[in-house]
Structure 1
Amino acid sequence: MFYLSLFFQYASQYLKTRLTYRADTIIEILSDLLFQAVNLIFIVIVFRHTAFLGGWNRDEIIFIYGFFLVPYAIFSSFFNIWDFNDRYIVKGEMDRILTRPVHSLFQIILERIELESLFGAVTGLLVMSYAMANLDLTFAWYDVLIFIVMVIGGAFIYAGIFISIATIGFWSDSRTDIMPMMYNISNYGRYPINIYNKVIQFVLTWILPFAFVGVYPASYFLNREEWYGYAFFTPVMGILFFGIAILLWNAGVKRYRGAGN
């Protein structure tokens, strides 16, 4: 309850700050929507030249893309630690974090929340609804619960991977380009896994499991029974990778010796 109370206090202060600069907030939301629209246009252009891509039709891939946007929006809102190394290690702000009686990772998550990114989840739901209408898909009452579990699992996979990468800063205080590269690799999870070669499929499934954020869980709702085993493994992968990230973080904090010459 203490941590939950802290979260709401931080969220309240963040919203007050963002509402002070309403124009900037609106422009940021619109630019994000425009970026998602460009990706959708790309999918539409591809399917002007082919009816199927790896056995998937246009509306199925649009549904996968919409599903992907929901866990990605949650991750972007609450695990925005792309600049951890530069801000907290190189500039020494980790010293400030460690003086407080709250878990260091939780503090950083609270300091870096971007609640406006949750609009991406709304966009994803709208895209999914459009694809569902074209595919004549229907949801059972329990599918809503399965959807929530898979979305949380996907968000945890993202969080686990990027928190693990952030922990490199505890052992190496120099700036690296790993984080931007990983963001680019994560985009592969937006599309069906079987359109890639076997090596990339293995990497996106077991090494950097971004496929569990998009195509695998989405395949359950698309009635792709051949992918059901992977789909229901999504929350397991989320717990596994997030758990590994926490272990690495705690080990890194013990290794941290503070800022200085």
Structure 2
Amino acid sequence: MFYFSIFFQYIGQYMKTRLQYRSDLVVEILSDLLFQAVNLVFILVVFGHTQFLHGWSRDEIIFIYGFFLVPFAIFSTFFNIWDFNERYIVKGEMDRILTRPIHSLFQVILERIELESLFGAVTGLAVMIYAGSLLDLPFHWYDPLIFLLFVIGGALVYGGIFISLATIGFWSDARTSIMPTMYNIGNYGRYPVDIYNNVIRYILTWILPFAFVGVYPAAYFLKREEWYWYSFLTPVVGLAFFILSIVLWNTGVKRYRGAGN
């Protein structure tokens, strides 16, 4: 209950801050929507030259992209730690974090929260509904529960990977970061993995499991039975990677020695 209380206090203060600059907030939301629209246009352009991509139709890939946007929006909202090394290690703000009687990762996540990114989930749902109507996908009463489970699993996959990358800063305080590169690699998860060669497919499944953010869980709703067991592994993989990231974080914090000379 203490952590829930702190969470909602942070949210309240965040909303007060953001609403002081409404125009900036609106521009940021519109820019995010424009970026998502550009990615959708790219898919449409690709299918302007072909009917199928390795057995996947245009509407199926649009559906996968829409699904991908939902867990990615949650990740972008609550795990916005791409500049952790620069801000908290190099500039020494981790010292401030560690003086407070609350878990350090929880504080970092709340300080970097961006609630406006949740609009990406609305876009993703709209894209899924649009593509699903074209595909005439069946709907069952339990599908929303499975969808929620898969979305949480996908968000935890992303969160676990990027928290693990952030912990590198506890061992190396160099300004360079592999975060931007990893963001680009993560985009591969919004396309069917069988369009890639076996090495990339293995990496996206077991090493950097971004495929569990988009294509694998979406395959369940697309009735791709050959991918069903991967679909239901989504929450398991997400939880496993997130727990691993917490262990790495706690180990790294014990090694942290402060921002001295």
**What is the TM-score of this pair, normalised by structure 1?**
0.99
Rounded to whole Å, the distance in 2 between the matches of 1:101 and 1:128 is: 42
Structure 1 counterpart SS, 2:142: helix
Q: Distance in 1 between matches of 2:177 and 2:8?
A: 33
4+ residue segments displaced more than 4 Å: none
- Give the deviation of 1:248 after TM superposition: 0.1
Q: Distance in 2 between matches of 1:176 and 1:183?
A: 15
**In structure 1, what residue type is equivalent to 2:101?**
P
The answer (yes or no) to whether the contact 2:71–2:121 under 8 Å persists in 1 is yes
Counterpart residue number, 1:251: 251
User: What CA distance in whole angstroms lies between the structure 1 residues aligned with 2:48 and 2:107?
Assistant: 47
Q: Distance in 1 between matches of 2:234 and 2:255?
A: 32
Q: Secondary structure at the match of 2:237?
A: helix
Task: Indicate whether 1:203 and 2:203 are aligned.
Answer: yes
Instruction: Work out the CA distance in 1 between the residues paired with 2:112 and 2:161.
Output: 17
What is the one-letter code of the residue matched to 1:46?
V
Equivalent-residue separation in structure 2 for 1:139 and 1:114 (angstroms): 32
- Structure 1 equivalent of residue 9 of structure 2: 9
Distance in structure 1 (CA, Å) of the matches to 2:177 and 2:113: 22
Aligned to 1:142: 142
Cα distance between partner residues in 1 of 2:141 and 2:20:
40
* Distance in 2 between residues matched to 1:243 and 1:177, nearest whole Å: 22
Displacement of 1:176:
2.0
Residue 54 of structure 1: CA displacement? 1.2
Residue number in structure 2 paired with 1:188: 188
What aligned pairs does 1:48-67 form with structure 2 within 5 A after superposition? Answer: 48-67=48-67
Partners in 2 of 1:45 and 1:191 — Cα distance? 15
Deviation digits for residues 58-83 of structure 1 (CA, Å, limit 9, x no counterpart): 00000000000000000000010000
**Alpha-carbon contact 2:47-2:58 (below 8 Å) kept:** yes
Give the distance between the partners of 2:26 and 2:44, measured in 1 at CA: 27
Task: Report the Cα distance in structure 2 between the residues aligned to 1:32 and 1:97, rounded to whole angstroms.
Answer: 30
Distance 2:177 2:196 in 1: 25
Q: Distance in 1 between matches of 2:210 and 2:68?
A: 10
Determine the C-alpha separation between the residues in 1 that align with 2:31 and 2:237: 32
Amino acid at match of 1:122: V
Q: Would you say how many aligned residue pairs link Structure 1 and Structure 2?
A: 261
* 1:108-127 pair list within 5 angstroms: 108-127=108-127
Tell me which amino acid in the other structure corresponds to 2:207: I
TM-score, length of structure 2 as denominator length = 0.99
Question: What CA deviation, in whole Å up to 9, does each residue of 1:213-238 have, x standing for no partner?
Answer: 00000000000000001000000000
Residue type at the aligned position of 2:15: L
SS at the partner of 1:31?
A: helix
Shift of 1:175: 1.4
Distance 1:38 1:93 in 2: 36
Structure 2 unaligned segments of length 5 or more: list them: none
Judge conservation of contact 2:157–2:209 (CA < 8 Å) in 1: yes
Structure 1 Cα separation of the partners of residues 213 and 176 of structure 2: 25
Tell me the distance in 2 between the aligned counterparts of 1:7 and 1:137. Answer: 38
Partners of 1:179 and 1:167 in 2: how far apart?
Answer: 12
| DSSP-derived class of the 1:49 partner | coil
Aligned match of 2:25: 25
Partner residue, 2:175: 175
Distance in 2 (CA, whole Å) between partners of 1:238 and 1:118 is: 19
The one-letter code of the counterpart of 2:146 is I
Distance, in Å, in 1 between the alignment partners of 2:37 and 2:100 is: 42
Q: Distance in 1 between matches of 2:74 and 2:133?
A: 25
- Report how far residue 245 of structure 1 moved: 0.1
State how far apart, in whole Å, the 2-side matches of 1:98 and 1:177 are. 23
Quote how far apart the aligned CAs of 1:139 are. Answer: 1.7
User: Which runs of structure 2 are paired with 1:43-122 in the superposition (5 Å)?
Assistant: 43-122=43-122
User: Given that residues 67 and 214 in structure 2 are in contact (C-alpha distance below 8 angstroms), is that contact kept between their aligned partners in structure 1?
Assistant: yes
Shift of 1:128: 0.2
Q: Which residue of structure 2 lines up, in the alignment, with residue 218 of structure 1?
A: 218
